[in-house]
A and B are shown apart, each in its own frame.
Chain A
Amino acid sequence: MTLARTRVRGGVGESAPRPDGVPKVRGEFPYASDLYLEGMLFGHTLRSPHPHALIRAVDVTAAREISGVRVILTERDLPTRERFGLMKRDQPVLAEGRVRYAGEAIAIIAADEADQARAAAKAIVVEYEILPPMSDPIAALGPDAPALHEGGNVIDDVLVVHGDPDAQAEVVVQGEYEVAMQDQAALGPEAGLAIPTADGGVTLHIATQWLHEDLGQIAPALGLPNEQVRLVLAGVGGAFGAREDVTLQIHACLLALATKRPVRMSYGREESFYGHVHRHPARLFYEHGARRDGTLVYVRATIVLDGGAYASSTSAVVANAGCFAAGPYRVPNARVRSVGAYTTNPPAGAMRGFGAVQACFAYEAQMDKLAAALDMDPVVLRARNAVEDGDRIITSQPVEGSEPVANLLRRCAALPMPADEVAHPLRAGRPSRDPLLLPGGAGNLTHGEGIRRGTGFAAGFKNVCYSHGFDDVSHARVRLERTDSGIRARVHTAAAEVGQGIVTVCQQIVRTALEVEEVIVETPDTTIGSAGSSSASRQTWMTGGAVLAACREVRAALEERALARGRAMDELAALLDEPIERSVAWRHRPTEKRDGHTQNHGHVAFLFAAHRATVDVDLGTGLVKVVQVATSQDVGKAINPQAVVGQLEGGIAQGLGLAVMEEVLLRDGQVRNASFTDYLLPTILDMPPVVCDLVEHPHPDAPYGAKGVGEPPTISSTPAIVAAIRAATGRELNRVPVRPDDIVFGTVARSGWRIVPGSDPAMAARA
């Protein structure tokens, strides 16, 4: 039975416009760093310049004398000894006698003006006893390494054993791979405004991915009950994983409580590099065995992830890298050891596709190596081994509700190739292409001479939602009401809109489920239950699912009311003399906890994609121009096709960045390039046209069959681009980002350690 007399516009499957689009193009959308209250103070953080040191003394006497300074807090002034951290509470709110990374917070200041707070930070005198840095994660795992934390330097350790882990094969390929540290580089800086409340508590307006997880870390650190700490989502200028961890949340609240004044904190770009976690750098040691016909026999791998100074989400990253280490392929036998280590590098945590990104770069390089050893086409080799429903990944969990990966590969291979040809120097007396389209771009380094074109493929996969027994839940409240202007719905969740468009998805689901066009999405806050994080590609599945379930309850209540009153369902004005409101808590089916040698059914479902990249490489300068990326991705159902394409293209841009330019450069624990001048991000000149093929294979458990779409684009785009560069150059390229030197001189990255793939990295020997 229908409620609306005309078809409702902007429902599921349409490219409905975002509700926040107009304020954003007008410059009126309030981001966290835009928040302003008359009389507010400005917060600032003093950070350690040393990666590893003991703190002998902190003298704030001179800093306190600076005009406008209201309070300076060090660890001595903290109300509690509670630590914080996403999966392990191992990080002090302010350093307690020791710093473990360059950038660790030591003191916080609130002052009338931002300049005064910065000047005070400079005036604080800290006496350090410098300790040697521990910057190599493999060395940190060794038996003789000094422990950085109680309990040693292993943050987490996963062993996946499948079939016969010692199986032998006719054709064997090995490789060592490296993934450098990538920065999420969300353009909006970390920012928040903390306002003390009359009851002795605090309200924090904050740009975050997960309000309730923040609350669970903030309140204990403040020594307040959860009820006295309220969080409201402020405008979020991108996230990509970097806002899953607490940065300035506790600090801003502490300063507000200490001064009884509103305090705004907002990091500048340099501080942002020190203030948030990054993608885990990884060393990966692989061996693949196959029959002569290309059938995979085994994969053995050891993966070492550099967790940096504090654990953050390293446990989940280690588990993902282990579970997904063999790729979207049927692999009957495997032994995978995935370990995360504490070091004195900046802490690593969530970034789009975590764990899966690092593994995919290595296993897809291995698949190309294997194809070469077998003299097979790389797409044919992949398709021959690709998983489909019923096949098991190396954790023994079967794939369900997915498009066969071989189809994704074939579809991707059949997408149109770039229209332009390889550049020819001075064809008909003129360069055949604008130099802007050639490697080196405006540097005008070539007219087409020395350019080689290459094409490469990759496929990848990852879980959607939380895994391994986590109680994954999202709450939604939907209200259907009558107003002077008609019928409308309101939807309230705590799901963080970080740019991905969950606000639009919620509107679209309500429109379709309740047949009402006007849908108001209320500001997320902690007055409603948790929605979980805007991460793991999960909000459409989880909060979309919660909103759909709430809509169904509203609709059932409406039907009941109509029946009781003897009215038709579409007599909404009469039926809604009292609004109908329903709240639900929605969960996906439970997953199994990790156990000894396998993770069993640890994940709720998998997301698959394939990528093809075409590149031009200047062999003389080692510069790369990505010419085109094509992708086929199983999205389940495109609730908003325009937004889905936006996720695919944006994710590919980040994959391109990791492939050829993005790296947080570290030397002995020091970040060498904490700015957008030195940390290179893809510009509109670097990004090629993207061909997107949305494959809609619905998953039976997901709302409208819609799978998450955010992460797969970053997983296999990077290895596809590097495969294309290898095809153009013949170089080994075992490290991302690929650097000009790697292309021109054929430099190969070596960890300096000998590790038998599949073995415990703690047993590594110096090479």
Chain B
Amino acid sequence: MISKRIIPCLDVREGRVTKGIKFKNNIDIGDPVSLAQFYYKEGADELVFYDIAASYQKRGIIIDIVRETASQIFIPFSVGGGIKTIEDIRNVLLAGAEKVSVNSAAVTNPAIINKGAKAFGSQCIVLGMDAKRVDAGKNIPSGYEIVINGGRKYTGIDALEWAKKAEKLGAGEICLNSIDADGTKEGYEIKLTSLIASNVKIPVIASGGAGNPEHLCQAFTKGAADAALIASMTHYGTYTIKEIKEYLDSQGVKIRKI
């Protein structure tokens, strides 16, 4: 049976991997290509590079890092952050990424999902969505609102409706990030994860809040996620991928053994 995927996320700023707490106070973690190799050997199932500043500083995406990584590791990896056009998608895929993640640009221009899926196939278009807990109401019935530009701007769009719409437009996967949980290490937003994962047919990656292996177990079981993003819990060496996988295996969660 299919394995649940564990995906380290490498936030990249100016060519270096950083990890911020709720997008602020970024500290340096290291060289993205070496970290990618490290995680590949450790048994990561996939990787994400996220160009965290690209969205508002309009910097080009990190094509060199992608190219270098693609010649050294042979698992799928995706690139997100600042992807705005079909040309951006093409450049990232040609440099060797398996998938691209569109986030803010898809909210302002949903057609990019459709166009990207038509040009390159749904399997390489990931919708990245940042959701924030709000009071449920007429406009936001699910109680989760989509925010963009790294959590700085509210959009008035309901997270569940957006997920369903993106699926219809041809997104192949959803990377669902909880702004409230991000960087807290207190666990994924299980209610949000389960809400989205059980209402779309495409795979959902839980993101934001992972602090220990039990959190991943919850995301996969109660949250019904197909994959889980991790960052600080392994970046700082608190856990290894192997330890996380051993724990999940002991809890009956199907994982890929190395």
Q: Determine if chain A interacts with chain B.
A: no
Binding site for A on B (CB under 8 A): none
Binding site for B on A (CB under 8 A): none
